[in-house]
Amino acid sequence: MKSSSGNLALYSSKVIAILLMSMSLFQCNSEKKLPLSDPDNGGLFLPEKFEALAVVDSIGRTRHIAVNYNGDIYVQLGNSKDGKGTIALRDTDNDGKADSLVHFGDYIDKGRSATGVTIHKGYLYTSTNRMVYRNKLTAGELVPTSETEVVFTDMEEDVDRNWHTTKPLAFDNKGNMYIPFGAPSDACQDMEKYGPVGIPQGKGLYPCPELETQAGIWRFDADKIGLTQADGYKFATGIRSVVGMEWNPRDESLYAVGNGIDNFHTLFPELFSSWQAAMLPSETLMKVTEGSNYGWPYAYYDQLQKKNVLQPGYGGDGKMVRRANEYDDPVIGFPGHWAPMDVMFYHGDQFPKRYNNGVFVAFHGSTDRPPYPQAGFIVCFVPFDAEGKSTGTWEVFADGFTGVDKVWNTSDAVYRPMGLSTGPDGSLYISESNEGKIWRVMYKGDKDKFEEIQLASMEKRKSKNHIRTPIEGQDIRNDGDMLSGRILYNTYCAACHQRNGQGDNNRFPPLYASDWVSGDEDRLIDVVLNGMQEEIEVSGRSYDGLMPQNRHLDDFAISSILTFIRKRFGNEAPPVTASKVAQVRSATEDKH
């Protein structure tokens, strides 16, 4: 019989052996090799020692993504396939590439766009413009087989009233769920009279009726289903359009990225140059606390002046502050029209520690910067200081999505960043919305020896045309822009020629299939620039209405209007260039 001391020694050695085995297993798991990156990092440019691979390519118009604890990826599509709007992705052979793809979910809301996906407490939440759903996830199960529960229904069914109403979700650590309600108009114009865009002179309604039930973030009980807006509490207001938001557990606060209003030069040419309109108003990262008011539609943030200023639709001139000083300042202001789509606090431990103290933002890229190049199309990182506040700077973290340096039209960009998510091993996943490509970004250096010099190459990328501040008066395009042309036409021309181009059937002629539109380019430019007051014949009928002169509009604005009408209303004629308008303007100077 062994002595008690011998038994104790034997017991101790077994415990030590078990501990050593556990430590070995832990070390093995923690040092599990990351998959091989693509030779070209999937086309991305990243800080030094970061690498990337394409998890999947061309799965459709991908919106947001969520990565589960086991690495499964859930993707919301902008358009459903056979009525199924979500894709589940799994890597079954651990090479980093998704080899199992399953479409599921029959809950796309009457063809409305999918706008959010997240995982919370074992539930997969998916949303459209009007609805929020959830499915219980079972361990090991790729596609949920549980019953789909309707968490929330937006009772507003009018598509125009849901203009900016995306439904990304955020959950705090106190049992609350947050849902944004976007403003249906650009700047609180009269929707009944003018629709969501194209307001003459850009005047906004006061007080703004949209602030009652929209343009804000509401808080709900996260444990309940079958909710409507009436079941929630208005948590914050004055926020035009939120597409991405997340709860930051470090300071227990909600953060959101907001999209600013458009068309400053188009609607207020006497106040804003086309360069100012390309840069303003700021896209913002907001720390949203209870009672926050970010000032829409009465004010906007100007990142160039670093302050809130009065919106021109309410009497502002680009410098005037007045009541704008009543509203909250953002964490940081980005250049105008970059279209932030998602915001993510890094939750892993694979990256250098600096990335645990800051936030990633995905920018979809602009559509409203002509005649200057479109910009954005990157994933950036906003560093926070030791106190958890923004340093006021941003870094290019991932670039290369556009495939080209200069983006004149949004369609020139090959990819447009959209969604962000952290994987269980600390990898960062990025989705894009053009083709449906998803990247996995990994850090393969010594995270404890990361130095600022490793960011140098990314800092240089800020000189790229799709990122840098354009040079005023130089980095401009010559041909007219269709989007600007449509807005300008609705603002200055539709009252007489009507939105359908058919004229008023009395004094003002139709533009539809008209030789005046598709014929002599010089004559058309002259009429729009200098006006006309004489009887003319169009399609066998006489018209004598006064055509006012529009020399107050710049050359690009005129070229955009004429390019628009020469490509619409049954016309098919070449675009009109700004240089041609300048030529006619100079030649007809004696008319003034």
549-583 tens-digit pLDDT: 999 888 999 999 999 999 999 999 999 999 999 99
Name the one residue in this structure whose structure tokens are 């900016």: 164
In this predicted model, what pLDDT tens digit does every residue of 146-192 receive, in sequence order?
A: 999 999 999 987 765 666 778 999 999 999 999 999 998 888 987 66
How far, rounded to the nearest angstrom, does the alpha carbon of residue 210 sit from its chain's CA centroid? 21
Domain ranges in the chain are 50-463, 482-591
Q: Residue 9's pLDDT band (boundaries 50, 70, 90)? A: very low
State the pTM of this model: 0.88
Taking 60 as the threshold, does the pLDDT of residue 16 lie above it? no
Amino acid at site 326: E
How far, rounded to the nearest angstrom, does the alpha carbon of residue 299 sit from its chain's CA centroid? 20
The average pLDDT across 364-381 equals: 95
Taking 60 as the threshold, does the pLDDT of residue 354 lie above it? yes
Q: Which CATH class is domain 482-591?
A: mainly alpha
Taking 90 as the threshold, does the pLDDT of residue 72 lie above it? yes
pLDDT at 56: 97
β partners of residue 131 = 153
In this predicted model, what pLDDT tens digit does every residue of 213-263 receive, in sequence order?
A: 999 999 999 999 999 999 999 999 999 999 999 999 999 999 999 999 988
Of 560, 584, 565, 579, nearest in space to 519 by CA: 565
pLDDT at 29: 38
pLDDT at 156: 84
How far, rounded to the nearest angstrom, does the alpha carbon of residue 171 sit from its chain's CA centroid? 21
Cross-sheet strand order for the sheet of 417-422: 50-56, 438-443, 428-432, 417-422
The average pLDDT across 370-399 equals: 96
Mean pLDDT, all residues of the chain: 89
pLDDT at 402: 98
User: Is 205 within 8 Å of 189 (Cβ atoms)?
Assistant: yes
Give the CA distances from residue 203 to residues 109, 186, 208, 260, 424, in Å, rounded to whole numbers and listed in that order: 33, 11, 11, 16, 49
User: Is 275 within 8 Å of 472 (Cβ atoms)?
Assistant: yes
Selecting from 2.120.10.30, 3.50.50.60, 3.40.190.10, 3.40.309.10, what CATH number does the domain 50-463 have? Answer: 2.120.10.30
Poorest-confidence range of 115-124, 215-224, 257-266, 300-309? 257-266
